[in-house]
Amino acid sequence: MSAVLKTVNLVKIYQDGAIPVPAVRGVDLQVEPGEFVAIMGPSGSGKSTLVHMLGGLDARTSGEIWLDGKRVDTLSESAWALLRRKKVGFVFQFFNLVANMTVGDNVELPALLAGVSPKVARERRESLLGALDLTDRADAAPAQLSGGEQQRVALARALANQPSLLLADEPTGNLDSRNTRDVLRLLGKVHKEGQSIVMVTHDARVAALADRVVSLFDGEVVDDGRIARRRRGTAGEVIDLR
Amino acid sequence: MSTALAGSRWIRADLRARKGQAVLTVLAVAGIVAALITAATLLEDGTNPWRSLSAQSDGAHVWFYTGDSPEVALGGIDGVTQIAGPYRSAPVTVAQDGKREPAALRAMPAEPARVAHPLVAEGNWLDAAQPDGVVVERSFASSLRLGVGAPFTIIALSGERHTLYVRGVADTAEHGFYPEWTPGLAYVLPEMLDRIEPMMGRSEWVTGLRLADPDAAQVVSQRVVVMLEDQLQRVYTWREVRGAMELDNRLLGTLLALFGVVGLVAAALALANAAGGRVLGQLRDLATLKSMGFTRGQITLLLVVEHGALGLLGVALGALAGWGVMAAVLGPTSVAPVPVLAIVAGTALVVLAAVGLPAWRGGRTPPIPAAPASPPRGHLSRLARLALLVRLPPALVLGTRDAFTRRVPAFLTAFGLAVPMMMITIGLGVWATLDNFLSHPEQVGQHAGLYVRPGKLEAAEARRIAERDKDVAAVYPGTDVNALAPGEARSVRVRAVGSSTQPYPFPVVEGRRYARQGEAVAGQGLLDLLGIRIGDRVRLTVGGSPLIVRIVGRTVEPDQDGVVLSVGLDSLAAKDSVPPEYYALALRPGADRAEVRGRLLAESAEGLDVQAAVNPADRLSIIRVVIVALIAVLALIGLANLLTASALGLRDHAFDLAVLKAMGLTPRQVMATLVTGTGLLVVLGVGAGAAAGASVVTGLIDLQGHTSGVGAGIGRPPSPLTLAVAVVIAVGTALAVALIPARRAARAQVPVTAR
């Protein structure tokens, strides 16, 4: 089976005035279908930039990105947007729910955007919210929800179109330990159902949930290791070990 | 399709979140569009009743008055297709409810004429079976509050009273509306007129010529002048009638158009500002939408649709309201579809252009939601530095700094408030000008408060009675005559009042008053009509005798579109000036006109005919209603701008507030900081707007005066007190509006997460 995601010598250089600031310096990364990859590194190591580039939110300076066997780094901004609708789901540190819309609408929006009929979109929303235990909050405004609940809604939204790849940028960075546990349990659950995930984190305990941990330092991959014991346990057990 | 559905969800949710602002936008745009449509309708010919009246009555295009029945072959003039009359006409006075109004009684046969037949609007036309019937011209009838069947008492020149009964009320295309066009017009049967006024010498003959080509009126009237020479008393064409009918509509229309066009600019600014502010506040949401798969174009379209829809809804509502009001007031056919459609299309384009730029900027939001959308920081404006330097309270200093952190929105806010404030100041100036008309009538040519016609008495006796009254300061004998100007298709009014030894104090704004025989002052309308300037000589013909005068000054002239030449009575030939037609009475300050009038009537045993001067401000009072409505719309626009500024300020600085609170600012100080941030822009905008308005208002009113013939020199700026009150109200309201969100922000929990 071909890789879900592949990057070849991916480089990102920001231009700060006249001085070029390299953020990502030649990253080669391959994610197999169903794989859960954690990207770790200290602040400023380029991990967020990397994950933004993988989802097309940020343009690469050079290098290649392949998604589902197709080269995507050459796509225009609009083509990236169309691609994201079906193939990429995003979860951000600060949840980023659309503030004006209800929880239900937030989850339904990507499905509608992907061209699903309103009826099917409604069904998907019901099942996702049900799975995340948020059915009774469907008509609430995001601001009325706790951080953990908001992140669960964000996760539901990211999964609404069953994307090939789920990109998560510090999904627990803004949560307390209990909410962190809830969100991680959900991530583990969707991973078990076969979802490919790339997650950025600086928390080693969170990274321990993944199949594989990629360490980034100054924009370069310094370590890429598989966590062997991950095979035996479930997400819940890993967390319980703490 | 599905994207549209997703987009519509988002738009609905966003509009729900800012209902108040949305409603304000819609109302402001609607008000402006309604004003523009009203203006276009009033300025457009369609509202001028002349056209349809003339078509329905087969109206004549040239009218002239002669002393005797004209005995020349008028039908032989090229272009004349039909002749109306000649009809005999006699001057009478109508006594109604204690008032006496001058009227012309016209003899017309019972069978309707083929050309220039009055259009009976109520009741019936004259009938030989009812010889005491009279048909009254509609505007005259409504001014006298006469209905069908009402008695109509007239006093002939001999002083004899006759009572007729109104049989009908009719429209005509030969006559402007009473009281702007005097005397009033009434029709009786020829036999009746013979009874009321047996003296042929006291009556004149009216003849109308219907032309194949109305544009030939000028040439034809010239021919008439040449053919009739001495017999001719005055002549006018359909253009003067049309002009008289549209006078007030034009002034209102111009005012509305000025306010509408500038208001549209202000509304477009407010819309752009609101859309821009909203987009700035939503950058994070927009980025999230993009990360979910909205393209740049879709985001732009989404924003254009959302903000544009509000504007377009306003345009639609305004068009409906404007159309409705005009149709209700002037009749359903008065609104011409072409200008209305042009206005709707034009304003729709302006609306879309105004929201286009912010929408485009919104579309270019980078798709990374974490990207900070905070204002440029670390920048201390010069004003803030100055505030620090003079040791102002910290809240004030911080607020001052906040006011200018975003330069473009700060400018837009100040400018967006300045434009409505400027227009409000202009509106107040128009108001002050009208007030000035009322409080200083002598500045608009109404030095005299009462006009006394001798009536039954001898002229000298009338003068003696007037001079004896304790409240009469001066008595000026006067006569109004019509004069023919060389090369003109119409007669001009020559007002001879006062004398070179006791000149009437005309409000001369250029040059000087007449001081000797052969000198004259003129209104702007006359100068424009004849193409002359102060210092020029002009030769007119009054009843066959030449009148050669030198124009030495320009007066403010509210009568007859300014087409009036004013001279001393001694400049006229004796046959025209002796005895004087009337006496103009200047009253002592503080004297009550009605009281003086009552005394004069009692003194003369009702023998005198005493009339009060009609102030031009009285018939312009509708303008005050319009000004109030326009000020309301402009206030809405200002308010919309203010809400935007306030929301943006709150959003930009909510984060800083956390820091400020941590540093030890009290909630009150936090509130003061926020209010100062908005308030400073308000003060700047309102101050600049008021200053700009005050500096242009006099010039604008004078420009309008110049074009309407009244002449420059009437404009007055609003009084400093009015202006100060307006500024204080504007700033006070603005601060009160800014206070509400500021209070909420100051009390709210400090946000700890990123926005």
What's the per-residue H, E or C state across B197-241?
Answer: CCCHHHCEEEEEEEECCHHHHHHHHHHHHHHHHHHEEEEEEHHHH
Q: Out of B16, B288, B290, name the one closest to residue A81 (CB).
A: B290
For residues A33 and A195, the answer to whether their CB atoms sit within 8 Å is no
Contact: B285, A98; criterion CB under 8 Å: yes
In this predicted structure, the answer to whether residue B24 has a pLDDT above a threshold of 70 is: yes
DSSP B614: P
Residue B568, token pair as written in the block: 């001393």
Residue A1, token pair as written in the block: 């089976």
Across A17-97, the runs of DSSP E, i.e. the strands, are: 19-31, 36-40, 62-67, 70-71, 88-91
Which one of A92, A102, A151 makes the best mutation probe of the B interface by having the most chain B beta carbons within 10 Å? A92
**Using CA atoms, how far apart are residues B565 and B521, in angstroms rounded to an integer?**
6
Residue B204, token pair as written in the block: 């004149």
Which one of B8, B288, B303 makes the best mutation probe of the A interface by having the most chain A beta carbons within 10 Å? B288
B6 at interface of A, judged by CB pairs closer than 8 A: yes
Question: If you count residue pairs, one on A and one on B, with CB atoms under 8 Å apart, how many are there?
Answer: 99
Confidence of residue B627 (pLDDT cuts 50, 70, 90): confident
Q: Look at residue B329 in the predicted model and tell me its pLDDT.
A: 76
Q: Which of B369, B267, B345 is nearest to B310 (CA)?
A: B267
Which one of A98, A120, A144 makes the best mutation probe of the B interface by having the most chain B beta carbons within 10 Å? A98
Set of chain B residues whose Cβ sits within 8 Å of the Cβ of A116 = 2
Q: Establish whether this prediction's ipTM goes over 0.85.
A: no
What are the tens digits of pLDDT across the range B507-548?
A: 888 888 888 888 888 888 888 888 888 888 888 888 778 888
For residues A68 and A87, the answer to whether their CB atoms sit within 8 Å is yes
User: B611-645: string of b/e by CB count within 10 Å (b at 16+)?
Assistant: bebebbbeebeebeebbebbbebbbbbbbbbbbbb
**Using CA atoms, how far apart are residues B288 and B271, in angstroms rounded to an integer?**
25
**Using CA atoms, how far apart are residues B454 and B100, in angstroms rounded to an integer?**
13
User: B73-84: string of b/e by CB count within 10 Å (b at 16+)?
Assistant: ebeebebbebbb
**Using CA atoms, how far apart are residues B232 and B110, in angstroms rounded to an integer?**
27
Answering whether pTM is above 0.80, one says no
What are the tens digits of pLDDT across the range B102-116?
A: 888 888 888 888 888
In this predicted structure, the answer to whether residue B298 has a pLDDT above a threshold of 80 is: yes
| Higher per-residue confidence, A36 vs B75 | A36
- The mean of the pLDDT values for chain B is 81
Confidence of residue B72 (pLDDT cuts 50, 70, 90): low
Confidence of residue B691 (pLDDT cuts 50, 70, 90): very high
For residues B121 and B170, the answer to whether their CB atoms sit within 8 Å is yes
Q: Which of B256, B273, B321, B270 is nearest to B30 (CA)?
A: B321
Set of chain A residues whose Cβ sits within 8 Å of the Cβ of B6 = 109, 112-113
What are the tens digits of pLDDT across the range B555-590?
A: 888 777 788 888 888 888 877 777 888 888 888 888
Q: Look at residue B83 in the predicted model and tell me its pLDDT.
A: 84
Q: Out of B292, B297, B370, name the one closest to residue A78 (CB).
A: B297
Q: Where are the domains of chain A?
A: 32-56+76-240
What lies within 8 Å, CB to CB, of B631 at 6+ separation is B424, B427
Confidence of residue B717 (pLDDT cuts 50, 70, 90): confident
Mean pLDDT over B283-287 rounds to 84
B421 at interface of A, judged by CB pairs closer than 8 A: no
Closest Cα in chain B, distance from residue A200 (Å): 14
For residues B660 and B288, the answer to whether their CB atoms sit within 8 Å is no
Nearest CA in chain B to A99: B285
Contact: B9, A114; criterion CB under 8 Å: no
Contact: B9, A101; criterion CB under 8 Å: yes
In this predicted structure, the answer to whether residue B714 has a pLDDT above a threshold of 60 is: yes
B224 at interface of A, judged by CB pairs closer than 8 A: no
Residue A135 CA to chain centroid, in angstroms? 23
3-class state of residue A91 by DSSP: strand
Q: Look at residue B102 in the predicted model and tell me its pLDDT.
A: 81
DSSP B711: -
**Using CA atoms, how far apart are residues B401 and B387, in angstroms rounded to an integer?**
9
In this predicted structure, the answer to whether residue B470 has a pLDDT above a threshold of 70 is: yes
Contact: A96, B287; criterion CB under 8 Å: yes
Set of chain B residues whose Cβ sits within 8 Å of the Cβ of A92 = 288, 291, 369-370
Q: Look at residue B280 in the predicted model and tell me its pLDDT.
A: 81
Set of chain B residues whose Cβ sits within 8 Å of the Cβ of A174 = 753
Q: Look at residue B753 in the predicted model and tell me its pLDDT.
A: 42
B531, B532, B548 from B528: Cα distances, Å: 5, 7, 18
What lies within 8 Å, CB to CB, of B563 at 6+ separation is B490, B492, B493, B523, B525, B526, B529, B709
For residues B436 and B620, the answer to whether their CB atoms sit within 8 Å is no
Closest Cα in chain B, distance from residue A109 (Å): 6
Give strand pairing partners of B119: B171
Q: Look at residue B754 in the predicted model and tell me its pLDDT.
A: 40
Which one of A96, A146, A155, A162 makes the best mutation probe of the B interface by having the most chain B beta carbons within 10 Å? A96
Residue B227: count of CB within 10 angstroms of its CB: 15
B415, B509, B582, B586 from B504: Cα distances, Å: 48, 15, 13, 10
Which one of A97, A113, A166, A169 makes the best mutation probe of the B interface by having the most chain B beta carbons within 10 Å? A113
Q: Look at residue B489 in the predicted model and tell me its pLDDT.
A: 63
Which of the listed CATH numbers 3.40.190.10, 3.40.50.300, 3.10.270.10, 3.40.50.720 matches domain A32-56+76-240?
3.40.50.300
3-class state of residue A3 by DSSP: coil
Residue A230, token pair as written in the block: 């991950």
Q: Which of B573, B557, B546, B485 is nearest to B521 (CA)?
A: B557
In this predicted structure, the answer to whether residue B479 has a pLDDT above a threshold of 50 is: yes
3-class state of residue B574 by DSSP: helix
Contact: B370, A93; criterion CB under 8 Å: yes
- Residue type (1 letter), B747: R
Q: Which of B43-47, B307-311, B557-561 has the lowest mean pLDDT?
A: B43-47
What are the tens digits of pLDDT across the range B405-450?
A: 777 778 888 888 898 899 899 888 888 888 888 888 777 777 778 8
Confidence of residue B315 (pLDDT cuts 50, 70, 90): very high
Contact: A58, B2; criterion CB under 8 Å: no
DSSP labels for A165-203? EEEEESTTTTS-HHHHHHHHHHHHHHHHTT-EEEEEES-
Rounded CA Rg of chain B: 33
In this predicted structure, the answer to whether residue B336 has a pLDDT above a threshold of 50 is: yes
Q: Which of B3-12, B134-143, B229-238 has the lowest mean pLDDT?
A: B229-238
For residues B43 and B257, the answer to whether their CB atoms sit within 8 Å is yes
Mean pLDDT over B651-656 rounds to 69
CB-neighbour burial class of residue B736 (10 A; exposed 0-12, middle 13-18, buried 19+): exposed
Phi and psi torsions of B279, nearest 5° = -65, -45
B297 at interface of A, judged by CB pairs closer than 8 A: yes
**Using CA atoms, how far apart are residues B719 and B78, in angstroms rounded to an integer?**
57
Contact: B14, A84; criterion CB under 8 Å: no
Q: Which of B431-440, B701-710, B734-743 has the lowest mean pLDDT?
A: B701-710
Query: Which regions in chain A score pLDDT beneath 70?
Result: 1, 228-242
Nearest CA in chain A to B293: A81
- Residue type (1 letter), B418: A
What lies within 8 Å, CB to CB, of A79 at 6+ separation is none
DSSP B161: E
3-class state of residue B140 by DSSP: helix
For residues B543 and B531, the answer to whether their CB atoms sit within 8 Å is no
3-class state of residue B514 by DSSP: coil
3-class state of residue B387 by DSSP: helix
Rounded CA Rg of chain A: 18
Residue B650, token pair as written in the block: 């709150």
Across B67-138, the runs of DSSP E, i.e. the strands, are: 80-96, 99-107, 119-123, 133-137
Q: Position of tokens 């072959």?
A: B73
Set of chain A residues whose Cβ sits within 8 Å of the Cβ of B290 = 57, 81
Q: Which of B15-29, B85-99, B233-247 has the lowest mean pLDDT?
A: B233-247
CA dihedral A145, A146, A151, A152 (to 10 degrees): -70
**Using CA atoms, how far apart are residues B553 and B563, in angstroms rounded to an integer?**
14
B367 at interface of A, judged by CB pairs closer than 8 A: yes
**Using CA atoms, how far apart are residues B246 and B249, in angstroms rounded to an integer?**
5
- For chain A, helix (H) and strand (E) counts, in that order, are 8, 10
Contact: A109, B9; criterion CB under 8 Å: yes
Q: If phi over 0 gives left and psi between -120 and 50 gives alpha, with beta otherwise, what is residue B79? A: left
B308 at interface of A, judged by CB pairs closer than 8 A: no
